[in-house]
Amino acid sequence: MSSSIIELRNVSKTYSTAAGDFTALINVNMNILAGEFLGIVGKSGAGKSTLLNMINGVDQLTSGEVIVRADNENISIHTMSEDARASWRGKKMGVVYQSFQLLPMLTLIDNITLPMDLSDNYKPRESKERAMQLLQLMELEEHAYKLPAFISGGQQQRVAIARALANDPPILVADEPTGSLDSITADHIFEVFEHLITDQGKTIVMVTHDVGLVSRFSRSLTIADGELLSEAVPDTKLNQGRKK
Amino acid sequence: MRPRWRKVLHDLIDNKARTLLVVLSIAVGVFSIGVISGAYQIISNDMSVSYAANHPANVELRMANYNTDVLTSIHNAQGIGEAEGRRVNNFRVRAQGSDQWVALDVVALESFSKNQVNLLAPVSGAVEAGKDEILLEKDALKKLNATVGENLTLELSDGTLKELKLVGIVQDVSTGAGDFLAPPFAYIVMKTLPTLRQPELFNRAYVTVAEGQDDIANIREVGTALKDRLDKNGTAVSRTRFSETHKHPLADTVNAILGILLALGILIVFLSSSLIANTLSALLSQHLRHIGVIKLVGGRNKQVFAMYLTLIMAFGVLALLIAVPLGGQGAYGLALFIANKLRFNLLGYRIVPMALMIQVAVGLLVPLVAGLAPVISGSRITVLRALSGDLAGDENKPQAGKPDRLPWFDYMLVRVTRILAMRGIHIPRPFIISLRNTFRRRGRLMLTLFTLTMGGAIFIAVFNVRVTLHDYIGAIGSYFRADVTVDFDKTYRLSEVQKFGLQVDGVERVEAWQFIGTELLYPDGAVADNLNMLAPPANSKLVNPIIVAGRWIRADDVRKFAVSEAILNFFPDLKPGDSMYLKIKGRTEVWEVIGIFKFVGREGILAYTPFEYSSQVLNLTNRSSSYRFVTTQHDRATQDLMAERLDHFFRGAGFKVRQAESGLASLDTASESLDTLVVFLLIMAILTAIVGAMGLTGTMGMNVLERTREIGIMRAIGADDRAVMRTVIAEGFVIGAMSFGLAIILSIPFTYLLSTIVSLAVFETPIDVVFTYMGYAIWFGLILVLSVVASILPARNAARLTIREVLAYE
Ligand SMILES: Nc1ncnc2c1ncn2[C@@H]1O[C@H](COP(=O)(O)OP(=O)(O)OP(=O)(O)O)[C@@H](O)[C@H]1O
Ligand SMILES: [Mg+2]
């Protein structure tokens, strides 16, 4: 719990729309440490999703740098092509969204196997076994051959998390994963996340507008109008070390 | 199975209607190409093989009576291979128990077993006829209802009846090939001729050349030399016909027709690919979210590309599974049909490798070409856009960099409805919604309109072509306006025929015509072609020529003639006023061309000279063996009846009648074969219309699918099933009506194009185009029905959507 796994330097994002340019992120600097459970909190429209999409490479930043140090590799994802980012993301970073984004025509187990199939990290037999283990982890093994439409929202979100873990990535980013779930179901998701951090050493970045969840993160940052306001658990020593 | 391929499989089978639509649209194109290319290959091979297999004569000579000595001299002439003498006489023949007389050309052979040229192939019964026995060519059975073993009654020119035993049916693909109008044949042995009161002498020679049997110039040379020799030695040759061994005389016509069908087939492929492009781009935009998810979890562009490429290739493969077997059957069916019509044989059912390859190529390439652009752009889309469901290419969504304003069409619609409303005209709301929907996706609308319009334009054009052809045939008929033509075995005085003829009830007028068989010569004396010269009275109302250049015949014309356009094949620069060398009754004369008229090129060169002059040439003043009768009524039935009556009457009065024929009898055959062609064109037109209708169904289905939310909202604010269905059907209707308007315009150039191609192929001359409201009326009805039917399924789906489903859709 010491080294920085993701580093953002002066990240800005400007959307150009018909109404004119809109800057959704202004000079964001941050370090995400390996093994932490980082919460990014802010009001609707603050720029949380935008920030997350800079980290997972779904969107392209306007200026600045995003560097990810996963599995002893230093990757500047802002320099990669969209296509290269996709393949990198598939192996190194699991992504979970508020709307679960499962493929409706595939069974749960196939949905979880898909990232392994695409990355070719595992042999077909292995990947199937692994998908089953992940389903067991999520306590969903009896639903393995159902279609997403036939399970509940909370269950679907757990499948989405299992899929995000398919290629055993060191980092998990989640955008309002509990946003559409009731509090008991949401609790269950948090338990899963906590387990992933303590038992598997994953790093998790989670975005939420719910300030009440701050206590569940190991650290949380607030974002407002595209600017990072405060760090609840500042770690100046480490930041200084980084900026030399 | 790997999950990504499982997804492809689900994409293929989960939406069966869409898969069926895409597969069928590919299949229609593959099928039509398969049928036509297959038939083309089969025919172009089998037509010549089957023709050549029967050792067709290279030179056919019609001659005065001659004996075996002359035949031997023909045999021994320079460059001659085989030579066979035959006697051909026309008889009226009747089957047992029937009172229907049929004119047959009865061919007498010296020996069936020594038959070397124009071979007879057995069909059923005996292959040789003994004394007083007869064989029928199988085509004769179409007119003569006879069975092997019964006796056929032949009527001799003096009226006596003779019976010959029908012992077998044979096929003769060579004699009369290339002549649509040739009468059916029957075969006897020479020994039977005395029974029929005919001399045991030949009047035809069927000759093959020893070398260069596929070199028409050589055949002409050898044939002309032979003819000159015969003429010089006192056996007059009245007509010669030259043809190559390995080329059916009608090969060019058939190829031209297949060429037209091929062009239409290619058009169908083209149209169906625009339909496929439409469906695939809609499919891709519906799948944006899936693509987004795949990329989110690590899918690369090329992996997405491979998945969707596999999907469209699967569509192609499924289409091939349907279309290839059907296309093979269709190809053989079409070939068989043409072969039967033109009296040649096919070598048996088979799969044509070339056609198969073409079909596979079309079936795989068409979806590939049509789907490549949407698949490439779909696989390149960014995750963000894909996941936000931002439909690529939705023209009317405000897009980055574009000013936010009402689309032009909506703006116009608002203005127009407002103006109309001020004048008290209120357009129903649902109709306005339909109109807006129609124009929402302009690219898709254009493709749908294009397909429907093409289908409609071709459909309409085919009807116009049909009328054009019939009009032309009718115009050709104006060269044969007599109601009944009576030919006698000898010449009679005009006054005598008139005196008797006018006694027959219903006869109004009698004209004597003469005929001079001549040959057109090149300046060096070689025979260019036969020239059949008819000689009606100069003021005859029974010819109504379509003059292209110069003038028609006059009573004071001497050694002058008007000639059909076909002569331009031999003398392309011929103008009225030019002089030509003609061989008439063995003498070479110089005649002046006074006019050129339009006529069916296929029937050889036809010429007219006044009766007033021909009677001098033939030395027959006011006499003729051929008479034209005008009756009070001119319908087909009356003409047939009058022909029968005149035949009877003149025989009764002791005239030697050869035959009495009703006026348009021969034209029926010609328009029959044209109708066959029109049927093919119509089938192709219907196929295009089907592609158009499928396109419309697809478009409506996609439009409804994309408007699920909107329909849900309509329902939520109280629209009932019928209101929802009405808006959807109205939309289909608007598209149908628009395509009809466009088809009217496009059908005009299509009519000209198609008429020109067809008339060049069949008549060897371009003809004047005639338009008919028929095609327009039928297509109007059809497009209304089609557009409603095409919208009903999507409309019902729309009406079935419940609010819950609509909300679940996102
Ligand atoms: N594609 C885009 N084009 C233009 N503006 C955008 C786009 N995406 C986001 N924005 C704007 O950027 C700002 C930040 O958006 P973002 O989605 O990051 O907010 P958020 O904090 O995730 O809000 P929420 O809690 O509602 O999800 C908003 O004002 C939004 O309008
Ligand atoms: Mg957000």
Query: DSSP readout, B706-759?
Result: HTHHHHHHHHHTT--HHHHHHHHHHHHHHHHHHHHHHHHHHHHHHHHHHHHHHH
Q: Which residues pair with B434 in a beta bridge?
A: none
Looking at ligand 1, which residue's alpha carbon is closest to its atom 18? A47
Phi, psi torsion values for B634, nearest 5 degrees: -120, 15
The residue of A15, A55, A83, A122 whose CB has the most chain B CBs within 10 angstroms, and thus the best one to mutate to test that interface, is A83
- Closest ligand by atom to A50 CA: 1
Lowest mean pLDDT among B204-208, B482-486, B694-698: B694-698
Please name which of B620, B604, B600, B11 lies closest in space to residue B282, comparing C-alpha atoms.
Answer: B11
Cα B721 to Cα B693: distance, rounded to the nearest angstrom: 24
Token reading at B762: 């069949």
Give a three-class secondary structure readout of B648-681: HHHHHCCCCEEEEEECCHHHHHHHHHHHHHHHHH
Type of residue numbered B692? G
pLDDT in tens, B634-677: 776 677 778 878 887 888 888 887 777 777 655 555 666 677 77
Answer whether A96's CB lies under 8 Å from A207's CB.
no
**Mean local confidence (pLDDT), B553-557:** 91
In sign, the C-alpha dihedral spanning B100, B101, B103, B109 is positive
pTM of the model: 0.75
B11 and A89 within 8 Å at the Cβ level: the answer is no
B298 and A163 within 8 Å at the Cβ level: the answer is no
What is the DSSP annotation of B216-232?
HHHHHHHHHHHHHHHHH
**Mean local confidence (pLDDT), B94-102:** 82
- Closest ligand by atom to A15 CA: 1
Q: Do the strands A203-208 and A37-41 form a parallel or antiparallel pair, or are they unpaired?
A: parallel
Element (DSSP H or E) covering residue B267: helix B251-286
pLDDT in tens, B444-497: 788 888 888 988 898 899 899 888 888 887 777 777 778 888 888 888 999 999
Chain A closest CA to B381's CA: distance in Å? 10
CATH fold for domain A37-57+85-243: Rossmann fold (3.40.50)
Q: What is the DSSP letter of A64?
A: E
**Mean local confidence (pLDDT), B98-118:** 86
Please name which of B684, B685, B675, B679 lies closest in space to residue B783, comparing C-alpha atoms.
Answer: B685
The atom of ligand 1 lying closest to the CA of A53 is: 18
**Mean local confidence (pLDDT), B554-578:** 90
Q: What is the dihedral of CA A126, A129, A130, A135, to 10 degrees?
A: 160
% of chain B with per-residue pLDDT over 90 = 28
* b (16+ CB within 10 A) / e for A168-204: bbbbbbbbbbbbebeeebbebbbebbeebbeeeebbb
Answer whether B19's CB lies under 8 Å from B315's CB.
yes
Looking at ligand 1, which residue's alpha carbon is closest to its atom 7? A15
Arithmetic mean of pLDDT over chain B: 84
Q: Do the strands A227-231 and A219-224 form a parallel or antiparallel pair, or are they unpaired?
A: antiparallel
Q: Any CB–CB contact under 8 A between B389 and chain A?
A: no
Lowest mean pLDDT among B312-316, B404-408, B618-622, B781-785: B404-408
Q: What is the DSSP letter of B98?
A: -
Neighboring chain A residues of B388 at a CB cutoff of 8 Å: none
Structural domain boundaries in chain B = 1-55+246-392, 57-244, 440-478+663-810, 484-633
Give yes or no for residue A45 CB within 6 A of ligand 1.
yes
Structural domain boundaries in chain A = 37-57+85-243
Neighboring chain B residues of A83 at a CB cutoff of 8 Å: 300-301
Cβ neighbours around B424 below 10 Å, total: 6
**Mean local confidence (pLDDT), B83-100:** 86
What is the Cα Rg of chain A in Å? Answer: 18
* pLDDT higher at B406 or B377: B377
Cβ neighbours around A43 below 10 Å, total: 13
Place B408 in a pLDDT band, splitting at 50, 70 and 90: low
Element (DSSP H or E) covering residue A239: helix A236-242
Looking at ligand 1, which residue's alpha carbon is closest to its atom 26? A44
Give yes or no for residue A150 CB within 6 A of ligand 1.
no
B400 and A53 within 8 Å at the Cβ level: the answer is no
A110 and B400 within 8 Å at the Cβ level: the answer is no
Q: What is the pLDDT of residue B410?
A: 67
Phi, psi torsion values for B159, nearest 5 degrees: 95, -15
Question: Distance, CA A51 to ligand 1 centroid (Å)?
Answer: 10
Cα B402 to Cα B415: distance, rounded to the nearest angstrom: 23
Looking at ligand 1, which residue's alpha carbon is closest to its atom 6? A15
The atom of ligand 1 lying closest to the CA of A22 is: 5
Give yes or no for residue A210 CB within 6 A of ligand 1.
no
Q: Is the pLDDT of residue B321 over 90?
A: yes
Q: Is the pLDDT of residue B402 over 60?
A: no
The atom of ligand 1 lying closest to the CA of A223 is: 21
Looking at ligand 1, which residue's alpha carbon is closest to its atom 20? A45
pLDDT in tens, B115-151: 889 889 889 999 999 999 999 998 888 888 889 999 9
Answer whether A23's CB lies under 8 Å from A226's CB.
yes
Answer whether B173's CB lies under 8 Å from B343's CB.
yes
Q: What is the pLDDT of residue B672?
A: 64
The residue of A13, A60, A80, A118 whose CB has the most chain B CBs within 10 angstroms, and thus the best one to mutate to test that interface, is A118
Phi, psi torsion values for B770, nearest 5 degrees: -120, 140
Answer whether A117's CB lies under 8 Å from B299's CB.
no
3-state secondary structure of B776: helix
Token reading at B343: 């009296």
The atom of ligand 1 lying closest to the CA of A226 is: 14
What is the DSSP annotation of B394-415?
-TTS--TTS-----HHHHHHHH
Q: Hey, which residues 1-40 in chain B have their CB within 8 Å of chain A?
A: 2-4, 6-7, 10-11, 14
Pocket test for ligand 1, best of A25, A49, A206 (most atoms within 8 A of CB): A49
Q: Is the pLDDT of residue B602 over 80?
A: no
Q: What is the DSSP letter of A164?
A: H
Place B391 in a pLDDT band, splitting at 50, 70 and 90: very low
ipTM over 0.95: no
Phi, psi torsion values for B521, nearest 5 degrees: -110, 145
Q: Is the pLDDT of residue B395 over 70?
A: no
Q: Which residues pair with B531 in a beta bridge?
A: B518, B605
Q: How distant is the alpha carbon of residue B1 from its chain centre?
A: 51
Looking at ligand 1, which residue's alpha carbon is closest to its atom 28? A45
Cα B46 to Cα B39: distance, rounded to the nearest angstrom: 10
Q: Name the stretches of chain A with pLDDT < 50.
A: 1, 232-244
Cβ neighbours around B160 below 10 Å, total: 10
A82 and B383 within 8 Å at the Cβ level: the answer is yes
